[in-house]
Amino acid sequence: RGGPENLPILTDHLDTFDNPAKEQLRRKPHLVVLGSGWGAVGMLGNLDKNDYDVTVISPTNYFLFTPMLPSAAVGTLELKSLMESIRHIVRRVNGHYLEASAEKVLFSEKLIKVRVKGSGQEFYVPYDKLVIAVGSTANTHGVKGLQYSNQLKIAEDAMEIRRKIVTNLETACLPTTSDEERKKLLSFVICGAGPTGVEMAAEIFDLMNEDLTRSFPKILRQEISIHIIQSRSHILNTYDKTISEFAMGRFEHDQIDLLTNSRVREILPDQVIFDQKNSDGTLETKSVPFGLCLWSTGVAQNPLAQQVVKDLSAYQKNKRAIETDAQLRVLGAPLGDVYAIGDCSTVRTELAEHCSDYVRKYIIGSQSPQFVKSRHIITDDDIKHVDLTYFELKQLCNQISQQNPLAAGPLGLVEELIPKYDAEKRGRLTFDQVKLLMKEVDSKVTSLPATAQRANQQGKYMGKKLSKLRKSSTTLSINDIVDGDIDNAIARPFKYKHLGSLAYIGNSAVFDLPGYSFVGGLIAVYLWRSIYFAQSVSFRTRVLLFMDWLNRGIFGRDILT
Ligand code: FAD
Ligand code: MG
Ligand code: MG
Ligand code: MG
Ligand code: MG
């Protein structure tokens, strides 16, 4: 026992001594991973085995292929084809799994306070390295009555939606059901028109048109309605405009009721109350009855992430995510102990804050005659008195973008901004002016998207880096490590590569790839996704998915469970 609350401290796992491979790892550094989603699994797949004694802690004992969850919710795919046991994934690195939730991180004691799902019992897990990948939760926007709606985040959610659709369909067929009641049972309301909401609407539409009439009375088809409530004027508004418009056109054609400029006010047991903005700007309160209401209006911060931000509040300034540096290290935690990846995290560039460090580095490396003389004795005062030409500024920016790949975009456009800060038109900027310029660049850095793509890339990056850290601990010389920053000595900062987005809209897919957007067929969706999936999980799931598609092609959707 120990720690501030005198709770039991985990020393050995139950499976350590019956497994020679695991017993050997006992003396290796303890790497603890919080979460079993995209970020965590991306990391575990890229970690060399036998580098660390790995423990994964997560309340969900499976990895979920979320992009295809809407398909599972209507029976196009089997849920189990989208799930992979986390124990299976952990086995590769001879690691351990604990089904529990992390409650708090004690940074100075290097302990994680963990709570058991059912019993609520608590204990500590010690770590040497910690990776936080706890994801996000659904955004409630403070709306009342969410308990009457369904969410789509975990496997159980998809199962519940599927069950509800079947129950409503069966009830709609009973002689005791009135016409009005039947219409309500067959009304689907989707709150939020991001990718999840849009795909759910498309899947429900296809189900009703393709498979329903085979086994249910044809009359039901006329009574089904699908409504999407969206606060903005467009759907899929994180996508390219052509895609958003294509999707809207498609839905109009399919007679899906798009309620744009509408804000949900409250959800009652069988209807949604919302305010719709008219073209003259006035608000009108309306309601729409439902048999199934899906709440998919975006993401909010996970409770553990909230706790971390609170505990490190002197350093953490973002209210929505854990902030890390470019090496994905949590700001405010001891350097190199704690990392955060995926939806729960964001990378802060802080160019203005670190401006003097960057200028110092630039001066040291510069060939400019202005600096060559003073290269070895650069005081803070020297830095405050620098006066950089436009050319030198560009060099400085190039150098900064090497260390901050996420700021590379705005830094590349800095040439247009420079004259604005050169108030006296001298062709040069003083240090204070450079700092102001960097502040503007900081504000132009777009935050990373909350997507599987991003979480997966960060996971891969972390896995590779952590293995590299183990191997380099013996080969690095003291000169390689500047300011005790081992991460920077061995690895480049994380760089996000946007591979495009994709949404499925009624038997066709819209792609939003870097540089161009296009519309393709259903096969393209599955291909694109299964390639992605194959990389992340196992052969088993690939086989299952393939059989699902074959099965659906021949026999239609399985809506009976
Ligand atoms: P997650 O994958 O959510 O994993 C978080 C993990 O942490 C979970 O295992 C959870 O159980 C665990 N956890 C939570 N709290 C704790 C705690 N206190 N202690 C320990 N463990 C904890 N993205 C795309 O790029 N393309 C898509 O097409 C796409 N479609 C989507 C469709 C749906 C229906 C949904 C829900 C999401 C979709 N996403 C898509 C988004 C994508 O799933 C997320 O961005 C991604 O899962 C983020 O990965 P993560 O590792 O950060 O979090
Ligand atoms: Mg994760
Ligand atoms: Mg997920
Ligand atoms: Mg996941
Ligand atoms: Mg995460």
SS (H, E, C) 338-358: EEECHHHEEECCCCCCCHHHH
What is the average pLDDT across 517-540?
54
CA of 133 to the centre of ligand 5 (A): 3
pLDDT band at 120 (very low <50, low <70, confident <90, very high): very high
In Å, what is the CA distance from 144 to each residue of 108, 277, 301, 397, 488? 40, 20, 19, 48, 47
Model pLDDT, residue 319? 86
Assess contact for 436 and 429: CB atoms under 8 A.
no
What domains are there in the chain, each with its CATH number?
20-59+99-137+300-348+450-490 (3.50.50.60), 146-297 (3.50.50.100), 355-444 (no CATH)
Closest-lying ligand 1 atom to the alpha carbon of residue 345: 52
pLDDT band at 373 (very low <50, low <70, confident <90, very high): low
Handedness of CA 56, 87, 15, 473 (dihedral sign): negative
Model pLDDT, residue 115? 98
Q: Is the CB of 38 under 6 A from ligand 1?
A: yes
What is the average pLDDT across 95-116?
97
Closest-lying ligand 1 atom to the alpha carbon of residue 449: 45
In Å, what is the CA distance from 326 to each residue of 46, 323, 458, 487? 19, 10, 11, 10
What is the average pLDDT across 137-154?
94
Counting every residue written for the chain, the total comes to: 561
Sheet containing 257-259: order of strands: 257-259, 225-229, 187-191, 292-295
CA of 429 to the centre of ligand 1 (A): 45
Higher-pLDDT residue of 517 and 216 is 216
pLDDT band at 498 (very low <50, low <70, confident <90, very high): confident
Assess contact for 116 and 68: CB atoms under 8 A.
no
> What residue's CA is closest to ligand 1, atom 45?
451
CA of 296 to the centre of ligand 1 (A): 14
Q: 3-state secondary structure string, 91-141?
A: HCCCCEEECEEEEEEECCCCEEEEEECCCCCEEEEECCEEEECCCEEECCC
Q: Which residues contact 499 (CB under 8 A, 6 or more apart)?
A: 453, 513, 514
pLDDT tens digits along 167-193: 999 999 999 999 999 999 999 999 999
Closest-approaching ligand to the CA atom of 453: 1
- Give the whole-angstrom CA distance, residue 382 versus residue 376: 11
> What residue's CA is closest to ligand 1, atom 9?
36
Model pLDDT, residue 202? 86
pLDDT band at 374 (very low <50, low <70, confident <90, very high): low
Instruction: Please provide residue 260's backbone torsions phi and psi, each rounded to the nearest 5 degrees.
Output: -85, 170
CA of 307 to the centre of ligand 4 (A): 21
Assess contact for 272 and 288: CB atoms under 8 A.
yes
Is the pLDDT at 275 greater than 70? The verdict is yes
Least confident of 190-204, 409-423, 522-536: 522-536
Model pLDDT, residue 503? 63
> What residue's CA is closest to ligand 1, atom 42?
452
Higher-pLDDT residue of 143 and 497 is 143
CA of 449 to the centre of ligand 4 (A): 15
Is the pLDDT at 559 greater than 80? The verdict is no
Q: Is the CB of 295 under 6 A from ligand 1?
A: no
What is the average pLDDT across 326-341?
96
> What residue's CA is closest to ligand 1, atom 32?
67
What is the average pLDDT across 443-467?
91
**pLDDT, averaged across the chain:** 87
pLDDT band at 413 (very low <50, low <70, confident <90, very high): confident
- Give the whole-angstrom CA distance, residue 247 versus residue 263: 20
Is the pLDDT at 376 greater than 70? The verdict is no
| 118 C-beta neighbours (distance < 10 Å), count | 7
Closest-approaching ligand to the CA atom of 455: 1
The DSSP code for 144 is B
Closest-approaching ligand to the CA atom of 137: 1
Q: Is the CB of 452 under 6 A from ligand 1?
A: yes
Token pair, residue 554, equals: 């021949």
Closest-approaching ligand to the CA atom of 60: 1
Parallel/antiparallel/unpaired status of strands 83-85 and 62-64: antiparallel
Rg over alpha carbons for the chain, rounded to the nearest Å, is: 27
pLDDT tens digits along 222-266: 899 999 999 998 888 777 777 788 788 888 888 899 999 999 999
Q: Which residues contact 246 (CB under 8 A, 6 or more apart)?
A: 505, 510, 519
Q: Is the CB of 453 under 6 A from ligand 1?
A: yes
Is the pLDDT at 399 greater than 80? The verdict is yes
CA of 493 to the centre of ligand 1 (A): 23
In Å, what is the CA distance from 382 to each residue of 285, 365, 374, 392, 406? 63, 15, 9, 16, 29
Closest-approaching ligand to the CA atom of 83: 4
What is the average pLDDT across 382-390?
87
What is the average pLDDT across 374-387?
76
Q: Is the CB of 500 under 6 A from ligand 1?
A: no
Token pair, residue 373, equals: 């003389």
CA of 162 to the centre of ligand 5 (A): 27
Higher-pLDDT residue of 389 and 474 is 389
Is the pLDDT at 332 greater than 70? The verdict is yes
Least confident of 280-289, 472-481, 486-495, 536-545: 536-545
What is the average pLDDT across 274-303?
95
Model pLDDT, residue 195? 84
Is the pLDDT at 526 greater than 70? The verdict is no
What is the average pLDDT across 446-475?
89
CA of 4 to the centre of ligand 2 (A): 28
Model pLDDT, residue 386? 87
Share of the chain above pLDDT 70, in %: 85
Model pLDDT, residue 124? 98
- Give the whole-angstrom CA distance, residue 22 versus residue 20: 5
